[in-house]
Amino acid sequence: MSKNTSTDKFRRVNVDDYDENNYVDEDEGGENQIGPDEAEVDASIRQGNLNAALQAALKNPPINTKNQAVKDRAEATVVKVLTSFKSNDIEKAVQSLDKNSIDLLMKYIYKGFEKPSENSSAILLQWHEKVLAAGGVGSVVRVLTARKTV
Amino acid sequence: MSYHSFLLEPISCHAWNKDRTQIAICPNNHEVHIYKKEGSKWSRIHELKEHSGHVTGIGWAPESNRIVTCGTDRNAYVWSLKGNVWKPTLVILRINRAARCVKWSPKENKFAVGSGSRLISICYFEQDNDWWVCKHIKKPIRSTILSLDWHPNNVLLAAGSSDFKCRVFSAYIKEVEEKPSPTPWGSKMPFGELMFESSGTGGWVHGVCFSDSGNRLGWVSHDSTVCVTDANKKTTVAILDTESLPLLTVTFITESSLVAAGHDCYPVLFTYDNAKDTVTFGKKLDIPKQNVQQGLSALAKFRNLDKHASADDNNVHLETLHKNSISQISVLEGGKKNCLKFCTTGMDGGMAIWDIKTLEADLKGLKIV
């Protein structure tokens, strides 16, 4: 092979950076978003008050922050709460949430699907069924079209 | 409600003439076909063949009886009826991407074309040169313009774009009109001035509509939301997160009620409450045919379980009038103030005419404010 085919650094160039018409999302200042308070969530789980744990886990969603660690921690917290629910209690818990919380919960559920652990997908599917009944396909569409998600 | 199936292909766009006896549609190709209503049948009377790309927008000016069409060939043509033939005049839009939508202004002395070139072309007729010229609105549009609607004052223009924003621009052309008087949207309106820009929702803005007075602006976007804002309180936008699939087109039928339709294949009524700044879901405006529910045999039950994972076959057949997404809605009678009839066309190649009075009678609990 001739010499000039040896390097392939050009394959790693992100051509979108050089496109002057490239659409860049606006920065909406997410530095202060720290995610749900894990201590509060853990305390509620230990007390057995799972509904309160769910409400606490859905507070302060790290939507705008660019810090991946915060997002991972938040997702882990929410999945922990969701897996500690008994199957029969899921529906009642979903009924107690308002519209925005339903949309947010759907976002976390899909985030949870992305990184499955041994039993999480099955539990998440049960939650998905109940949240879908409450939020409709519109809530799924909003997960898919959201530019900034949890 | 009446439904007529024109084709098996999607109807890309449609426009009605002034007395609603003729409809111009694009049958998903490079042509525009004009159909005339004769009794209960529609017959094709004209074929407008000039575009070399799919026709994406048609506008029929009611008073001057001119048709404007725009297409993916980056051109627009203004058609005038000479005798019994429609004669086209080319309009140079100076765009390098497809044209997506076109709308005549209320006074019919200009029209606006939205395109994939991230700009809006405002075209007007220059008497001296006997030629249509255009001016561009570029800033701060960052992606394709998907939908347009004119304000009744002939100057302001609402544009929905795929950069997730709905904007109101001034399209004041000093060559063809007087300076506009101040409106609730603003008082200084030089050409290209941005009067309003939405924020807070995501998704491509598929449809925009001004209300009859022009004081209210409604839009639907791809994240399944319906938004309405009032010019007197521009900073507060009333947003409704719907539970259905995204809506593609919207129109006001009274000052406070909107009808929108989209991928769910049926029109929906929404109500805007100015005092509470809310948009609420009114009702689904489709009366399904009552299917005689025969008892399902055990064989049918298990077959459905195997095929569709559910014992009944409710989800297999669409019970709506349109069998595919509705892409365009237009008001037929009554204007946007007190609409009596509206028309929808969709990807199933069909056109349905909806009568508000009949819907009010048949659907219990339908309240149009």
Mean pLDDT across the stretch A71-80? 89
In the three-class reduction of DSSP (H, G, I as helix; E, B as strand; rest coil), residue B267 is classed as coil
Average confidence score pLDDT of chain B: 91
Tell me whether residue A26 is in a domain. no
Tell me whether residue A22 is in a domain. no
CB-CB neighbors (< 8 A) of A139 in chain B:
241, 243
Q: Distances in Å between the alpha carbon of B344 and those of B14, B44, B322, B347?
A: 9, 19, 9, 10
Which H or E run includes B15? Answer: strand B13-16
Interchain contact, B224 vs A141, CB within 8 Å: yes
Residue B290: per-residue pLDDT: 59
- Most confidently modeled range among B100-109, B193-202, B293-302: B100-109
Residue B310: per-residue pLDDT: 67
Does the structure show a pLDDT above 60 at B359?
Answer: yes
Residue B303: per-residue pLDDT: 81
pLDDT band at A51 (very low <50, low <70, confident <90, very high): confident
Does the structure show a pLDDT above 80 at B313?
Answer: no
Domain range holding A129? 31-145
User: Of the candidates B250, B244, B239, B247, which has an alpha carbon nearest to the alpha carbon of residue B273?
Assistant: B239
Residue B315: per-residue pLDDT: 59
Min distance A23 CA to chain B CA atoms (Å): 7
> Nearest-5° angle of CA A92, CA A98, CA A99?
120
Min distance A123 CA to chain B CA atoms (Å): 20
Min distance B116 CA to chain A CA atoms (Å): 12
Tell me whether residue A20 is in a domain. no
Does the structure show a pLDDT above 80 at B50?
Answer: yes
pLDDT, tens digit (0-9, with 9 covering 90-100), for B221-250: 999 999 999 999 878 899 999 999 999 999
Mean pLDDT across the stretch B256-260? 94
Question: Could you give the number of structural domains in chain A?
Answer: 1
Does the structure show a pLDDT above 70 at B85?
Answer: yes
Q: Does B165 touch chain A (CB under 8 A)?
A: no
d(CA B269, CA B283): 5
Long-range CB contacts for residues A121-130, cutoff 8 Å, separation at least 24: A123/A82, A123/A83, A123/A85, A124/A79, A124/A82, A126/A87, A126/A90, A127/A82, A127/A85, A127/A90, A127/A94, A130/A90, A130/A91, A130/A94
Residue B159: per-residue pLDDT: 96
Tell me whether residue A150 is in a domain. no
Regarding predicted confidence, which is higher, B128 or A28? Answer: B128
Min distance B142 CA to chain A CA atoms (Å): 7
Tell me whether residue A13 is in a domain. no
Residue type, B189: M
Q: Does B167 touch chain A (CB under 8 A)?
A: no
CATH label of the domain that carries residue A112 = 1.25.40.190
pLDDT band at B294 (very low <50, low <70, confident <90, very high): low
Helices (H), chain B: 298-308, 356-362
pLDDT, tens digit (0-9, with 9 covering 90-100), for A11-36: 888 888 888 777 877 777 666 677 88
Partner-chain residue, chosen from B143, B203, B243, that has the shortest CB–CB distance to A145:
B203
pLDDT band at B292 (very low <50, low <70, confident <90, very high): low
Interchain contact, A137 vs B224, CB within 8 Å: yes
ipTM of the complex as predicted: 0.84
Cβ(B4)–Cβ(B35) below 8 Å: no
CA B53 from chain centre, in angstroms, equals 21
Tell me whether residue A3 is in a domain. no
Tell me whether residue A134 is in a domain. yes
Cβ(B148)–Cβ(B112) below 8 Å: yes
Q: What percent of chain B has pLDDT over 90?
A: 79
Tell me whether residue A17 is in a domain. no
* Beta carbon pairs, A and B, within 8 Å: 42
pLDDT band at B20 (very low <50, low <70, confident <90, very high): very high
Residue B345: per-residue pLDDT: 95
